[in-house]
Amino acid sequence: MSNSHSDTIPLHPSSQSDIDEIENLINASVQSGPATVLPARPPSPPRASIPVSSSPFIQSKIPPPPPQSSSSSNHKVPSVPAAPPPPPPVGNSSSIVATGFGPPPNTLTEPVWDTVKRDLSRIVSNLKLVVFPNPYREDPGKALRDWDLWGPFFFIVFLGLTLSWSASVKKSEVFAVAFALLAAGAIILTLNVLLLGGHIIFFQSLSLLGYCLFPLDIGALICLLKDNVIIKMIVVSVTLAWSSWAAYPFMSSAVNPRRKALALYPVFLMYVSVGFLIIAIN
Amino acid sequence: MVGVMLVANDYFAIEADTFSKPAGGSQPGSGEPQGSGWFRTFTIAAYKPYFDVDTSDIIDRLKESLFPFRGTFTEKTATNPDLYGPFWICTTLIFVAASIGTFVTYIAHKLKKKEWDYDINLVTWSAGVFYGYVTVVPLILYVILKYFSAPSGLVQLFCLYGYSLFVFIPALCLSVVPLEIFRWVIAGVAGFMSATFVALNLKAHINSAGERWFLIVTGIFLLQLALAVVLKLYLFTVTV
């Protein structure tokens, strides 16, 4: 078994621990091995063989651990026993946890910052894919597979809050109407597509419609800062067109081409009504 | 939270139809009987036949609703009544009514240099009026017609009433003009067209059965006119 630093073949996560175990057995039986074999090395990254067996097998979307963690786990200090599981990596800021025998990296035990960072990066990547569609991107279907609902939630709440801040009277009613309009609107739009015989996944569509609200969020923020009616109308028209343009490919591809207008008109209607709300609130 | 969403994704990705089925599991096909009797009202598949229309169908029906004196609407939609039209016409009307009403009060206040605040209640009020009208009146009419043994399908009635409201959209847009007489004329014309549309199409249907048809038809006509008047009064009466 080569323990050299040049071993850069990325190992399968579940086979690392096998290799570690075998190494331990070999090295335990050769306690007085030659000093050249294993100089002192930093302890291996902790493995998450956490005895949380009651949790269901949840396949998280963390990519498999990068090669350097696999090669560094080869450089184990021989005397570190493998039996007691290492303590959870509370202070550890490395984002990837090497796997144990059981389920892959358990998201329950990682640092909160890791979870938040992962979700934030997903929101950002979904946003880039949905709202700034690049025709030359490598994987057009990625946003569709990797949907999440945090992004849409933030955008809807932010829009409601912005409208509520801009309103001079009845602030809470404005927030309530805006939130209800957007949330119910997204659900109704998805139902509309489904009823027209389209093929769309419910939550995925909610997610996409939520992300397409991002330009209107920006528009609302600008309107909050600048109170001139003409500027508001221009800004809202531009962001409205942008939102509709972002939502167009997803909605139109989901239904029969003869019914495309039937599926797209409600989307346009919802964004126009939100845009109107932004202009009207002063 | 990530795991829950992923599980939910897999669950709902099974078949788009089944999202509202109570107990999960994938249905083998949409042609099979699904669930017990009253559960079916909560599935999407139960309403799909009412959305089986293409863009060209909808446009035809919209154009048909603008010519109230033909009376052929019910024949054309008897076999394929749709709920897409009524629902989205109502929703568009709510938006148009709220925005035009707001715009009218804004202009009126600005002309007199007064303070103006956006009244969010316009949206909720017009939503209540339009959705309520298109839901409740056909239901009552359905019951009445059944009582007088001239039954009409409930969905056909929803369809009829929904499309009858279409003429209010251009009427509301035209009512922005700040002339009071003009607004009353527009409201009157739109109300008359809409009421005639409903009355004539209904008359064609129930003429054959029962002797009270005239009463019913007149009642319907007046009700639609009343709706037009109420709209005009609430949305365009500006007290500044």
Whether A234 maps to a domain, the answer reads yes
Could you count the other beta carbons within 10 Å of the beta carbon of residue A34? Answer: 7
* B135 domain residue, yes or no: yes
Cβ distance of A170 and B120 shorter than 8 Å = yes
- Say if CB B221 and CB B196 are below 8 A apart: yes
Q: Is B189 inside a domain boundary?
A: yes
Pure H helices in chain A: 13-29, 67-74, 112-131, 142-145, 150-166, 171-195, 202-211, 214-225, 229-254, 260-280
- Side-chain half-sphere exposure of B122, counting CA atoms within 13 A: 26
State how far the Cα of B45 lies from the Cα of B57, in Å rounded to an integer.
21
Check CB contact under 8 Å for B120 and A173. yes
Domain presence at residue B201 = yes
How confident is the model over A188-200, as pLDDT tens digits? 999 888 888 888 8
Give residue-wise pLDDT tens across range A124-177: 888 887 888 766 555 555 656 778 888 899 999 999 999 998 888 888 888 998
Q: What is the ipTM of this complex?
A: 0.76
Report if residue B20 sits inside a domain: no
Segment-wise mean pLDDT, segments of 10 residues, chain A, 282 residues: 53 68 77 53 54 49 47 44 44 46 70 88 84 63 73 92 87 88 90 86 88 90 86 91 86 83 90 88 74
With contact defined as beta carbons under 8 Å apart, do A113 and A95 qualify? no
- Residues of A with Cβ-Cβ distance to B6 under 8 angstroms: 58-61
Q: CA A104, A108, A109 angle in degrees (round to 5)?
A: 85
- Distances, alpha carbon A85 to alpha carbons A44, A59, A81, in Å: 12, 21, 9
Handedness of CA A49, A53, A57, A62 (dihedral sign): negative
Closest chain A CA to residue B123: A177
Residues B228 and B188 sit within 8 Å (Cβ to Cβ): yes
CB contact B55 to A (< 8 Å): yes
CA distance B228 to B97: 12
Residue-number span of the structural domain to which B115 is assigned? 54-234
Specify if B17 maps to a domain.
no
> Which pLDDT tens digit goes with each residue over B82-124?
888 899 999 999 988 888 888 888 888 888 877 777 777 788 8
Please say if the pLDDT value at position B67 is more than 80: yes
Give me A223's structure tokens.
Answer: 């309107």
End-to-end CA distance of chain A: 72
**Residue B175 vs residues A9, A273, B21, B105: alpha-carbon distances, Å:** 75, 19, 45, 12
Helix (H, G, I), strand (E, B) or coil at A239: helix
- Say what angle helices A150-166 and A171-195 make with each other, to 10 degrees: 140
Tokens 């801040």 -> residue: A165
DSSP string, A83-152: SSPPPP-SS---S--B--SSSSS-TTSS-HHHHHHHHHHHHHHHHHHHHS--TT-S-TTHHHHS--SHHH
DSSP category for residue A47: B
Does residue B14 belong to any structural domain of this protein? no
Whether the CB-CB separation of A263 and A188 falls below 8 Å is answered with: no
Task: Judge whether B11 is closer than 8 Å to chain A, CB to CB.
Answer: no
> Min CA distance, B126 vs chain A (Å)?
13
Residues from chain A that touch B84, judged by Cβ atoms under 8 A, are: 192, 195-196, 262
How far is the C-alpha of A9 from the C-alpha of A178, rounded, in Å? 54
Q: Considering just the CA atoms, what is the radius of gyration of chain B in Å?
A: 22
Coil vs helix vs strand at B240: coil
pTM above 0.80, yes or no: no
Are A82 and A21 in contact by the 8 Å Cβ rule? The answer is yes
- Dihedral pair phi/psi, residue B135, rounded to 5°: -90, -45
- Please tell me the total count of domains within chain B: 1
Residue B23 resides in a domain? no
Q: How far is A176 from chain B (nearest CA, A)?
A: 10
| pLDDT tens, position by position, B164-200 | 899 999 998 888 888 888 888 988 999 999 988 888 8
Show the domain range for A236. Answer: 124-281
Asked if residues B17 and B43 have their Cβ atoms less than 8 Å apart, the reply is yes
How many domains does chain A fold into? Answer: 1
- pLDDT tens digits, residue range A197-214? 888 888 888 888 888 889
